[in-house]
Amino acid sequence: MEGGADNSSSSAHMASAPAHATADSTSEPAATPGTGTGIPLRESRPVAAADDQAALPELTLPPIVAPSSYLRVKKPSPSTPTVMPSPLETKTQSPLDREQSEGLEAIREFLKVRTSYDVLPLSFRLIVLDTDLLIKKSLNILIQNSIVSAPLWDSQTSRFAGLLTSTDYINVIQYHIQYPDEISKLDQFRLRSLRDIEKAIGAVPIETLSVHPSRPLFEACKQMLKTRARRIPLVDVDDETGRETLISVITQYRILKFIAVNNADYTVMLKKTVREINLGSYNNLITSTMDATVLDVIRLMVDSNISCIPILDSDGRVLNAFEAVDIIPCIKGGVYEDLGGSVGEALCKRPDDAPGIYTCSEDDRLDAIFDAVRKSRVHRLIVIDDDNKLKGVISLSDILKYVLDEEGEDGA
């Protein structure tokens, strides 16, 4: 599980990860919503305090950036004419728009001068699974260590071989459905067999994308958004031998928390509401009910290419949300027959300390969302109205895309 989240502003010391299992607090734990109704963001946001603040100080760059040239105010050359904004531009940009733009630009500059290595805590563990490991055993390792993913290592080639996630287990389930006569062989499948399973069911190949830990964090964020990956491994390569060393795995949540912890002066400037910036998805939402079977929900996830499905009652009110990681306890020990059970029964298998779903309204502001990310393990937000009825879903990808999107800050 991800440990040392509060220490995420510090850099780790480079250490070579062994090719076989060592344990990983940086891998994402099963931080899924519990069976509670969640905590509305409106309760965690000090609205009055934010609104009563005095005028914010003039924008400055973060004091921790490097190189030192970023800390010096650059004076225009006498030969270079100063370009003034046109009267129309000055007139059309409101103080709220200007403050929002300044806050976003400061966060982007922060991401460009910090490296992916900076996101890591001072101390962490990393579980790395060898591709020769049985799929059944890999499932038990994830459950025993309260994690939902792990990097794969090919000991034959001594190279990084991708990430094992709940999506891979969904692929195994699909294989079981399409080829029921092969059920007796599933227990003998190894992680390197995932490639063959993907080809057999026509699934997307396992992701092998990685970034160098010394590259700017901004680049890692761009790569994640480009490939729709929610986590990305950090792989160092020896210049002389070309040998790869797996350092760690960073997630969208860890990146957003790193931003929230180290840029409080700038996230507080993001005062536009969810509605104003059009944050999240609101059309053609896929939902289910508590009495639906786990197998039905898996089919919905596969057909819609999503990892979370809101669970509603008969009146359309939000009760919970079923995530891809909720499938892992259902197939513990390789018992695929439990997939015929109900969603309600599956949600009861979550850990006792699992948090409830996190909710917000379209009138909540982006600064409140960052405040929630800083304080809690938020992986998505369910947008509801005053009657607790579903309006939309905000993923961490939506938030990260908005922060990085230099062209569409208004969410248009």
- pLDDT tens, residue by residue, 233-290: 999 998 888 889 999 999 999 999 999 999 999 999 999 999 999 999 999 999 999 9
Beta strands in 216-270 (DSSP E): 231-237, 244-251
Helix (H, G, I), strand (E, B) or coil at 388: coil
Q: Is the pLDDT of residue 369 over 80?
A: yes
Specify the pLDDT at position 403.
97
Given a cut of 90, whether residue 318 has pLDDT beyond it is yes
Secondary structure letter of residue 387 according to DSSP: T
Q: Do 407 and 288 meet the contact criterion of CB atoms below 8 Å apart?
A: no
Which whole number is the average pLDDT over 94-105?
95
Lowest mean pLDDT among 113-122, 180-189, 257-266, 330-339: 330-339
Q: Which amino acid is at 31?
A: A
Is residue 8's pLDDT more than 50? no
Query: Of 159, 158, 162, 160, which Cα lies nearest the Cα of 149?
Result: 162
Residues 27-60 have pLDDT tens digits of 443 333 344 444 444 444 433 333 444 444 444 4
Per-residue confidence (pLDDT) for residue 47, from 0 to 100? 36
- Residue 340 clears pLDDT 60, i.e. is over it: yes
pLDDT band of residue 124 (cuts 50, 70, 90) is confident
Q: So what's the architecture of 95-404 in CATH?
A: Roll (3.10)
Rounded Cα distance, 3 and 1, in Å: 6
Domain-wise residue ranges, the chain: 95-404
Residue pLDDT, tens place only, 153-174? 999 999 999 999 999 999 999 9
pLDDT tens digits for range 378-394 = 999 999 999 999 999 99
- How far is the C-alpha of 152 from the C-alpha of 162, rounded, in Å? 5
- The structure's pTM equals 0.76
Question: What would the two tokens of residue 289 be?
Answer: 């009910």
